[in-house]
Amino acid sequence: MQGKLAIEGGTPVRTRPFPPQKKVGKEELKQLVDVIYSGNMNRFGGGEKVDQFEEEFAAIHGRKYGIASTSGTASIHVAVGMINPNPGDEIITGPITDMGSIVPILYQGAIPVFAEVDPYTFNMDPADIEAKITDRTVAIMAIHLFGNPCDMDAIMEIARKHDLPVIEDCSQAHLSEYRGELVGTIGDIGCFSLQQSKHITCGDGGITITDDDEYGMRGRLFMDKGWHRAQYGPRQYEVFGPNYRMNELSGAVALAQTRRMHEIIDTRRARGELLTELLNEHDSPYVKPQKILDGCRGTYWQYGMRVEPEAPFTPGEFAQALSAEGVSCGAHYIGKPIFLCHDALRNKRLFGDSDYPFDRASREVVYDETTTPRTQEVLDRLVQPMCPTQFMSEDDVRDIAAAIIKVSSLLGQSS
Ligand SMILES: Cc1ncc(COP(=O)(O)O)c(C=O)c1O
């Protein structure tokens, strides 16, 4: 079966294309048709779909409040708006993420402080979170990377000790399980993206969940320009906030997707876990699947692997050889810690010529190669082979496993 590597002229493991990922269909169309016939495309114009989406998504998570918005970034901005930091306050978060986790912190005048990640789980290291706490820290934002739950027991213990709220960025982690609990319900606030590539989607969208009345009410106002619509008479804006209202067309699709969320995740998780099982049977000393903590279940938004330094190939060479086998593979995910991916952030020049919000900090904040060197090493070793999806059969997953095993056994090794 193994033969010669495709990159050296051998036969690729996979020559057929993998199934396409068409995420929406009849159920979404049915909900959309209701909206078009109703003529109400705005949630406050008599629409019902966004309300239903919020209610059902929150109920699945056992939370009192679900606040829909226009993106995952917006859902995180709503969360930071709930916390309501003072300019210059600090929020500790992870350096392997999308800019959508960071922009909301800065727009609220707060300062992102980055904790190192663990080399095997790729998630934030609780010990480094605690080491980064100062008297200006107002929250911890945990990021469940690739749908893999963070070490929430340790994070919550630190948060309680220092009396800090925890925001969970679950943009990649719908229905991921942490020791019997759903992510997004362990901390104080959970945020989800419904962007096209996410587990459930309405093209672009987001939702923030919480059980806390004060956060819930503040977040609801924040999402709608602070407008207290329940009151009659002169307009009353009670919170300073943007317009992040989800429209009814997005709400209709988000509702249908939420109703299918368990089915989508069950299949996707089964395919992801099958891949891990097959790879563990082979147990390559050189390429290891992302570690999942005991009692946790991921949802495989991407399939992360670590190429060990002892491997006779680089992560880039591995990715190239695997892609030649017909199983596409990326290397290094975002490449650099997120603060180095953005010149304006690195230079701390975000609002015109000002130093805001860094001029409100009580200490100098540095974003350079010395900020999270361990995380750079983790990114340097990271590869992302094609992730099993809910659209794949078990045989598709077996082909992915066979290709990974072939490349990790043959590449750079004399037979
Ligand atoms: C971890 C994480 N946080 C936040 C976001 C932002 O989500 P959106 O693109 O919906 O604004 C993303 C999107 O890729 C993400 O992966």
- Condensed to tens digits (0 to 9), the pLDDT of residues 5-54 reads 999 999 999 999 999 999 999 999 999 999 999 999 999 988 999 999 99
So what's the pLDDT on residue 13?
A: 98
So what's the pLDDT on residue 228?
A: 87
So what's the pLDDT on residue 45?
A: 86
So what's the pLDDT on residue 363?
A: 94
Domains and CATH numbers, the chain: 6-19+262-334+377-410 (3.90.1150.10), 26-259 (3.40.640.10)
So what's the pLDDT on residue 49?
A: 98
Pocket flag, ligand 1, residue 75 (CB < 6 Å): no
CA of 215 to the centre of ligand 1 (A): 21
Collapsed DSSP state (helix, strand, coil) of residue 306: strand
Q: Which tens digits make up the pLDDT trace of 223-255? A: 999 998 876 777 889 999 999 999 999 999 999
In angstroms, the CA 398 to CA 292 distance is 21
Pocket flag, ligand 1, residue 151 (CB < 6 Å): no
CA of 384 to the centre of ligand 1 (A): 17
The 3-state secondary structure of 205-254 reads: CEEEEECCHHHHHHHHHHHECCECCCCCCCCCECCCCCECCCCHHHHHHH
In angstroms, the CA 298 to CA 292 distance is 7
In angstroms, the CA 339 to CA 50 distance is 34
- What token pair was written down for 358? 């860094």
So what's the pLDDT on residue 415?
A: 57
So what's the pLDDT on residue 235?
A: 85
Q: Give the ligand 1 atom nearest the CA of 194.
A: 10
Q: Residue of the nearest CA to atom 14 in ligand 1? A: 98
Q: What is the pTM assigned to this prediction? A: 0.97
So what's the pLDDT on residue 414?
A: 72
Q: To test ligand 1's pocket by mutation, which of 98, 102, 117, 246 has the most ligand atoms within 8 angstroms of CB?
A: 98
Residues involved in catalysis: 198
Q: Give the ligand 1 atom nearest the CA of 197.
A: 14
- Classify residue 85 by its DSSP letter: P
So what's the pLDDT on residue 328?
A: 98
So what's the pLDDT on residue 233?
A: 75
CA of 10 to the centre of ligand 1 (A): 39
So what's the pLDDT on residue 378?
A: 98
Q: Residue of the nearest CA to atom 5 in ligand 1? A: 100
Q: Report CA 244 to chain centroid distance, whole Å.
A: 19
Enumerate residue ranges in the chain where pLDDT < 50: none
Pocket flag, ligand 1, residue 97 (CB < 6 Å): yes
CA of 197 to the centre of ligand 1 (A): 10
So what's the pLDDT on residue 2?
A: 65
Pocket flag, ligand 1, residue 71 (CB < 6 Å): yes
- Classify residue 96 by its DSSP letter: S
Q: To test ligand 1's pocket by mutation, which of 195, 333, 341, 384 has the most ligand atoms within 8 angstroms of CB?
A: 195
- What token pair was written down for 207? 């939702």
